[in-house]
Chains A and B, each alone.
Chain A
Amino acid sequence: MSAAKSRAATGARGEGSFLPNLGKRQASGRRWAAAFAAATIAAVLVLGALVASIVNDAFGLVAMEFTVDPATLAPGGDIEKLSDAELVAALEDNLKSRRLRSLGNEKPLAERERADLLALVEDEVIGWEVVETFSLAESLFGRAGVDAFMAAEHPEAKLVFRSWVNARFLAASQSATAIDAGVRSALIGTLMTILITVATAFPIGIAAAIWLEEYAKDDKWNRFIRVNIYNLAGVPSIIYGMLGLAIFVRALEPVTSGAAFGAAADPTGANGRTILSAGLTLALLVLPVIIINAQEAFRAVPRTLRESGYAVGATKWQVVWHHVLPAAFDRVLTGTIVAVSRAIGETAPLVVVGASTFLTQDPTSVFSKFTTLPIQIYQWTARPQEDFHNIAAAAILVLLVLMLSLNAFAIILRNRLRAKKRFA
């Protein structure tokens, strides 16, 4: 055996060799990669199931019965095609004279808007009533079963495909019947609440983060504060609701009800249970998260950037304002928006703070009673009737779209800031 050959032999399986391990190392790497892929697939499946179940409820066939067949009013039952005069005629023919008189006293029929007339004909003449709703899956794939069921149970009913999310759903307020109910007050409530949350939590959070990260000495007290901010971020949201109830609704009632500012007492009797209280409670909830996020963003600003500021004779504030903040701002912003979009979906703390359960009026100011989308969804889901579950799903879609647009806005803004930072 030549020297070279024996070296090759020990090289291949001798004790000093590195190579024989390689196959094993690669195999273990592949196993881990497969596990990671599986985890990702599981996450995607769960997400898909969630979306599917919502969409399944938000669209589908609806069986409706009526008192007066629309086909007798207009050809093909399409009352949109009727002229204003014909609509008035339809009302006059079909309504009781007492009802006609009281409507006329409110506002003569001839002077009413077309949309108003259409709504009156739908509600009072035709009198649609939902007798059965079907899920999207049933509607698409089990049509035969649906038809059989309908023939047996509701031979009179008319079967129509309905998108529970529609323009009317967005424009209408809460109602006792699902088909008439909408999310308008809840949507306005959510937007106003979140505006208050952002307007208070964002500046306070950033200011606190600047102080903690840039100014506070690294002593016992400040470490204690920092650790506790981290802990606060993990406190269950319902506890914040109780805090909000104690502080904003009870102790600060003169302020949160608007009485201290001479605002006219809310006719609905909101007392402290106002949009202002709700917004401030959510601000408490997101504040720790915003602070932690901003602190991390400031910490990520390289020391060399700060030093180059100090080296030309800048004060600490000038370095923070001109260099640290702009460099960290995109991260601060993304962190804030992620925190806020979580807050949009919060239900528990607002229930504690006293969200209204049945609000048919839009809030007029921050001192009004409030309800929000998640509260509305929660209530509708809790009802036994099928059609309320359908509008709950529709409201969830509205909420998701709201959150997604907020996140998309955050991403666009961040990319803009990044691009500016790079090419300034």
Chain B
Amino acid sequence: MKRERATDPFDLAVETGETSWALETKGMCVDYGAFRAVKDLTMGFEKRQVTAIIGPSGCGKSTALRAFNRMNDLIPGCRTEGQVLFHGADVYAPEVDPVKVRRWIGMVFQKPNPFPKSVRENILWGARINGYSGDEEELVEGSLRQAALWDEVKDKLDKSALALSGGQQQRLCIARAVAVKPEILLMDEPTSALDPISTSRIEDLLEELKARYTIIIVTHNMQQAARVSDRTAFMLLGDLVEYAPTKELFLNPKDGRTENYISGRFG
């Protein structure tokens, strides 16, 4: 038994660390060079819930989201301060490999970006590089079912993913993300490049996915935030202005700036 225990402190924390939040930030600041895009963000994300982040363009939503799984490490000149706690372990601790963080905290992007490979390979690649040794067919079907895509692509598993429609590609990206069995899914405006029907399919999907995953979604669309999320955070110029259960935030905002934004007076 002892030999199977992870020795890496981060792995150990993921295995055993119990916290009330799925993810928690403490004083997180993100700078692009001298420009501070996210200022002192302190918030927690509830397990198996959908949390929406809204705010006007350029307020730092994407930046904050990408900081959660250290995606910003790939941008030269971008620096993050403060803590992001996952199972109580800081993902920015010097000994933590960002690759490990992204394995547990997956991401879906604004523009569908499947790999230029077959549908099947899109699902399997992430699993394989992470050392998956189970039944591949089972994984492909399971992941595609979770993304509500199985019925549409089960006959084209070996066709190029780029031959799918935009909405199908985006659900494939979701299937690809869940195939590595993450705990948290980050979604940056996942429906903004899609038509209304594809959008509503993905919104329905979020409802099912939250039974298994913690979902953090950035959206420009306030109706969407109101429809799909349990809690909503409103950001403005890099600050977290208000964070509350979605109903409360939309019906009874505490901050005047939130009220102005949701009533369409700016943004």
Chain A residue at minimum C-beta to C-beta distance from B127: A312
Stretch in contact with the other chain, from B38-46, B102-110, B223-231, B248-256: B102-110
In Å, the complex CA distance between A354 and B106 comes to: 60
Whether A313 contacts B126 by the Cβ 8 Å rule is: yes
Among A58-66, A314-322, A362-370, the one that faces the other chain is A314-322
**CB contact between A423 and one of B106, B114, B160 (< 8 Å): that residue:** B160
Q: Are A313 and B71 in contact (CB under 8 A)?
A: no
Q: Which of A6-14, A92-100, A254-262, A302-310 is the interface stretch?
A: A302-310
Checking B76, B109, B121, B179 against A308 with a beta-carbon cut-off of 8 angstroms, the contacting residue is: B109
Contact B114 A304 (CB under 8 A): no
Are the C-beta atoms of B109 and A306 separated by less than 8 Å?
Answer: no
In this complex, what residue of A is CB-closest to B121?
A424
A306, B71: Cα distance in complex, Å: 11
Q: Are B180 and A312 in contact (CB under 8 A)?
A: yes
For the complex formed, measure the closest distance between the CB of A315 and the CB atoms of chain B, giving whole angstroms: 5
Given contacts A311-B71, A312-B176, A313-B180, contact A318 B129 (CB under 8 A): yes
Interface residue B16 (Cβ < 8 Å from any Cβ of A): no
Inter-chain contacts of A306 with B (CB < 8 A): 74
* A304-B109, A305-B115, A424-B116 known; A314 vs B162 contact (CB < 8 Å): no
How many B residues have CB within 8 A of the partner chain?
33
Residue B261 CB within 8 A of the other chain: no
A312 and B109 contact, Cβ closer than 8 Å, known pairs A421-B116, A424-B117:
no
Also in contact, A305 and B113, with CB within 8 A (given A310-B102, A314-B99, A318-B129):
yes
Is B140 located at the chain interface by the 8 A CB criterion?
A: no
Please measure, in the bound complex, the distance between the C-alpha atom of A424 and the C-alpha atom of B130, giving whole angstroms.
22
- Chain A residues whose CB sits within 8 angstroms of the CB of B104 once the complex forms: 313
Pick the contact of B74: A307, A315, A318, A327 (CB < 8 A).
A307
Cβ proximity bits A392-424 to B, threshold 8 Å, 1 near / 0 not: 000000000000000000000000000001111
Contacts of A323 on B, CB cut-off 8 Å? Answer: 115
**A interface bracket (residues with beta carbon within 8 Å of B):** 20 to 34
Q: Of all chain B residues, which has the CB nearest A217?
A: B76
Nearest A-chain residue to B73, judged by Cβ: A310
A window 279-319: CB within 8 A of B? 304-315, 318
User: A304-B109, A307-B109, A424-B160 known; A313 and B103 CB under 8 Å?
Assistant: yes
A92 to chain B, nearest CB (A): 74
User: Are the C-beta atoms of A312 and B125 separated by less than 8 Å?
Assistant: yes
Closest to A310 in B: B102
Q: Are B130 and A313 within 8 A (Cβ)?
A: yes
> Chain B: which residue is nearest A302 at the CB level?
B113
- Within 8 Å by CB of B113, from A304, A423, A424, lies A304
Q: Is the CB of B113 within 8 A of A308?
A: yes
Q: Which of B105-155 contact A (CB under 8 A)?
A: 106-109, 111, 113-118, 121, 125-126, 129-130
Give the complex CA separation of A315 and B74 in angstroms.
12
Q: What residues make up the interface of B, taking CB atoms closer than 8 Å to A?
A: 69, 71, 74, 76, 99-100, 102-104, 106-109, 111, 113-118, 121, 125-126, 129-130, 160, 162-163, 173, 176-177, 179-180
User: Can you spell out 29 A-B residue pairs with CB atoms less than 8 angstroms apart?
Assistant: A304-B113, A305-B116, A306-B74, A307-B71, A307-B107, A307-B109, A307-B113, A308-B115, A309-B115, A310-B74, A310-B102, A311-B107, A312-B102, A312-B125, A312-B126, A312-B129, A312-B176, A312-B179, A313-B103, A314-B99, A314-B126, A315-B99, A315-B129, A322-B125, A323-B115, A421-B116, A423-B163, A424-B118, A424-B160
